[in-house]
């Protein structure tokens, strides 16, 4: 279904309810939720760095371009104020997972990064086994930054690769020679950071099955331990700069699917195992271990092995997830900084979640992680009497169409139904308009 030239996008369910449902939220409620956190349950921390040196035309992230360090220095001052403020309210919580995302955290210089991590350690107790991950733009990374990451305890990095083909790189305004990637990998491996993820994208302009194959062959040579293979989200009405790319060079839906299938087959041939919607990992990787133990989760970073049920978000636009609900900081860097200058929590929006939301969150997350779900068992665990009558009618239609298989109360997405995972998950989404037929939704709305 489309509205003008804005196709309805299917959620990726990195949260449930999705961020579309967020509304104004009183920062005092967030302070209460922080104060209510249990003493010994570890939390996760997310730091958003909304700056890059150069704009990639495909980019769908919340970022802005800065060619001077001054705005970044000022932003880091605000981030430091927020760490002290929130750390003070929450009490010095144990931390099992830290993630620096963006934008490009690599824009922070080595000294500032170490100072920031030292402040985090003052305000939070980082557990010895904690995973500390940083998203890396290989073009703004350097050996001294990698040394600072290692000294600060970073033990996982995610490199934005996207595509190795030079013509694709030119078409997306992101040229990064193979030699640069080789340098980055050498710095990380020499510094003892061996958990390396590559972000790849399919469905961008100028990509063909041949360029996808070239990218996968080179990925195999660099041998990262984990790969995220994202479908390009084309949202020019939200991200105007995507119009810089010639839309006539965008592959059609069938070609996108063929790209994903080819990339998956080739990655599996290289020994990577598929996880959920878009991840691949070598045996032994913590994401695979979590999946095999039934502990795989969906959160704002996509798939995660993180066991913490609370994520505290820092930085402009950062989202936090607490037992009471979701919170999001002001996306406007100036307003974010002004709130902190006055000693105020910079949260603007969010959503209080109820018991039913938590049950449906588990149903959808289980489906997104395992392609299978037993809704009745989850409802029982949550102590909720749910008949799922509308949902079961849709599930029956999917079984009939061969997209799902039923075994008692367990529903499993068949191989044929796997490309429609996101569309199938919408049938459990109590906020998603359920007007369209579920089969139509699968066939017509599974893009982007
Ligand atoms: C914040 S960026 C990663 C760090 C760094 N900024 C970089 O690009 O190297 C996170 C990832 O989001 C993915 N991404 C960005 N825009 C996207 C889009 N429009 N569709 C799909 N994936 C996208 C890219 O794979 C990118 O590596
Ligand atoms: S893809 Fe990464 S480096 Fe490129 S503009 Fe977006 S956030 Fe910045």
Q: Where are the alpha helices (DSSP H) in 124-204?
A: 143-151, 166-171, 178-190
CA distances from 219 to 163, 187, 425 (A): 9, 17, 31
Q: Does 4 have pLDDT greater than 50? A: no
Dihedral sign (CA 298, 299, 302, 304): negative
Q: What single-letter DSSP state applies at residue 436? A: S
Ligand nearest the Cα of residue 57 is 2
Predicted confidence at residue 448, as pLDDT, reads 54
- Tell me the CA–centroid distance for residue 410 and ligand 1, in Å: 35
Q: What is the mean pLDDT of the chain?
A: 95
Tens-digit pLDDT profile for residues 142-163: 999 999 999 999 999 999 999 9
Ligand nearest the Cα of residue 163 is 1
Predicted confidence at residue 69, as pLDDT, reads 96
Predicted confidence at residue 3, as pLDDT, reads 39
Q: Are 33 and 325 in contact (CB under 8 A)?
A: yes
From the CA of 52, give the closest atom in ligand 1.
6
Tens-digit pLDDT profile for residues 17-32: 999 999 999 999 999 9
Ligand nearest the Cα of residue 250 is 1
Ligand nearest the Cα of residue 104 is 1
Rounded distance, CA 129 to CA 118, Å?
17
- Tell me the CA–centroid distance for residue 218 and ligand 1, in Å: 19
Ligand 1, CB within 6 Å, residue ranges: 52, 58-61, 101-104, 135, 137, 160, 162, 199, 201, 230, 232-233
Least confident of 2-6, 205-209, 314-318: 2-6
Q: Nearest-CA neighbor of 229 among 254, 265, 194?
A: 265
Tens-digit pLDDT profile for residues 356-406: 999 999 999 999 999 999 999 999 999 999 999 999 999 999 999 999 999
Mean pLDDT of 314-331: 97
Q: Judge: domain 18-319, CATH 3.30.1360.40.
A: no
Ligand nearest the Cα of residue 239 is 1
- Tell me the CA–centroid distance for residue 381 and ligand 2, in Å: 41
Domain ranges of the chain: 18-319, 355-444
Nearest CA owner, ligand 2 atom 7: 103
Q: Nearest-CA neighbor of 110 among 160, 154, 67, 149?
A: 149
Q: What is the pTM of this model?
A: 0.96
Six-digit token string for 158: 């995610």
Q: Nearest-CA neighbor of 266 among 245, 280, 252?
A: 280
Judge residue 413's burial from the number of C-beta atoms within 10 Å of its C-beta, 0-12 exposed, 13-18 middle, 19 or more buried: buried
CATH code that applies to domain 355-444: 1.10.10.920
Ligand 2, CB within 6 Å, residue ranges: 52, 55-56, 59, 61, 63, 102-104, 137, 160
Judge residue 265's burial from the number of C-beta atoms within 10 Å of its C-beta, 0-12 exposed, 13-18 middle, 19 or more buried: exposed
- Tell me the CA–centroid distance for residue 207 and ligand 2, in Å: 18
Rounded distance, CA 10 to CA 447, Å?
7
346: three-class secondary structure by DSSP = coil
Q: Which of 105, 201, 447 to mutate to test the pocket of ligand 1 (most atoms within 8 A of CB)?
A: 201
Mean pLDDT of 188-216: 97
Q: Is 381 left (phi over 0), alpha (psi -120 to 50) or beta?
A: alpha
- Tell me the CA–centroid distance for residue 201 and ligand 1, in Å: 8
From the CA of 58, give the closest atom in ligand 2.
1
Q: Are strands 51-52 and 64-65 parallel, antiparallel or unpaired?
A: parallel
Q: Does 5 have pLDDT greater than 70? A: no
The per-residue b/e assignment along 53-74, b for 16 or more CB within 10 angstroms, e otherwise, is eeebbbbbbbbeebeeeeebee
Tens-digit pLDDT profile for residues 244-279: 988 888 899 899 999 999 999 999 999 999 999 999
Q: Which of 51, 54, 56 to mutate to test the pocket of ligand 2 (most atoms within 8 A of CB)?
A: 56
Q: Are 84 and 171 in contact (CB under 8 A)?
A: no
Predicted confidence at residue 447, as pLDDT, reads 56
Beta bridge partners of 24: 349
Rounded distance, CA 366 to CA 276, Å?
10
Considering only residues 212 and 441, tell me which one the structure prediction assigns the higher pLDDT: 212
Predicted confidence at residue 253, as pLDDT, reads 87
Rounded distance, CA 399 to CA 72, Å?
52
Nearest CA owner, ligand 2 atom 2: 103
H/E stretch holding 185 reads helix 178-190
pLDDT above 90 as % of the chain = 92
Q: Does 1 have pLDDT greater than 60? A: no
Q: Nearest-CA neighbor of 131 among 228, 44, 191?
A: 44
Predicted confidence at residue 249, as pLDDT, reads 84
Q: Are 347 and 325 in contact (CB under 8 A)?
A: no
Tens-digit pLDDT profile for residues 37-96: 998 899 999 999 999 999 999 999 999 999 999 999 999 999 999 999 999 999 999 999
Tens-digit pLDDT profile for residues 300-322: 889 999 989 999 999 999 999 99
């Amino acid at each position: 279904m489309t509205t003008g030239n804005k196709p309805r996008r299917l959620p990726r369910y990195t949260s449930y309810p999705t961020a579309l449902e967020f509304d104004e939220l009183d920062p005092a409620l967030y302070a209460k939720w922080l104060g209510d956190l249990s003493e010994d349950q570890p939390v996760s921390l997310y730091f958003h760095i909304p700056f890059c040196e150069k704009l990639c035309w495909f980019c769908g992230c919340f970022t802005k371009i800065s060619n001077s360090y001054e705005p970044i220095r000022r932003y880091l001052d605000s981030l430091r104020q927020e760490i002290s403020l929130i750390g003070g309210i929450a009490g010095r919580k144990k931390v099992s997972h830290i993630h620096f995302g963006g934008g490009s955290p690599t824009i922070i210089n080595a000294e500032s990064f170490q100072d920031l991590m030292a402040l985090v350690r003052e305000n939070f107790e980082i557990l010895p086994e904690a995973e500390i991950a940083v998203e890396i733009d290989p073009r703004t990374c350097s050996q001294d930054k990698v040394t600072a990451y290692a000294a600060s305890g970073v033990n996982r990095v995610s490199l934005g690769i996207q595509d190795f083909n030079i013509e694709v790189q030119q078409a997306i305004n992101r040229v990064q020679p193979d030699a640069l990637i080789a340098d980055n990998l050498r710095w990380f491996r020499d510094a003892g950071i061996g958990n390396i993820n590559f972000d790849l994208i399919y469905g961008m302009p100028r990509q063909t099955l041949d360029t996808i194959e070239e990218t996968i062959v080179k990925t195999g040579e660099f041998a990262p331990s984990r790969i995220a293979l994202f479908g390009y989200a084309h949202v020019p009405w939200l991200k105007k700069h995507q119009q810089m790319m010639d839309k006539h060079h965008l592959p059609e839906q069938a070609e996108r699917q063929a790209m994903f299938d080819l990339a998956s087959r080739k990655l599996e041939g290289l020994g990577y195992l598929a996880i959920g919607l878009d991840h691949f990992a070598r045996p032994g990787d913590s994401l695979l271990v979590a999946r095999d133990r039934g502990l795989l989760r969906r959160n704002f970073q996509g798939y995660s092995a993180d066991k913490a049920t609370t994520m505290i978000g820092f930085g402009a636009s950062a989202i936090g997830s607490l037992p009471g609900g979701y919170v999001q900081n002001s996306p406007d860097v100036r307003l974010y900084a002004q709130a902190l200058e006055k000693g105020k929590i910079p949260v603007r929006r969010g959503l209080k979640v109820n018991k039913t939301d938590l049950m449906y969150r588990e149903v959808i997350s289980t489906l997104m992680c395992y392609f299978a779900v037993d809704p009745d068992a989850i409802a029982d665990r949550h102590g909720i009497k749910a008949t799922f009558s509308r949902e079961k009618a849709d599930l029956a239609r999917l079984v009939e169409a061969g997209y799902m298989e039923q075994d008692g109360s367990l529903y499993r997405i068949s191989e044929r139904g796997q490309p429609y995972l996101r569309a199938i998950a919408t049938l459990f989404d109590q906020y998603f308009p359920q007007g369209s037929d579920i089969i139509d939704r699968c066939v017509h709305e599974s893009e982007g």
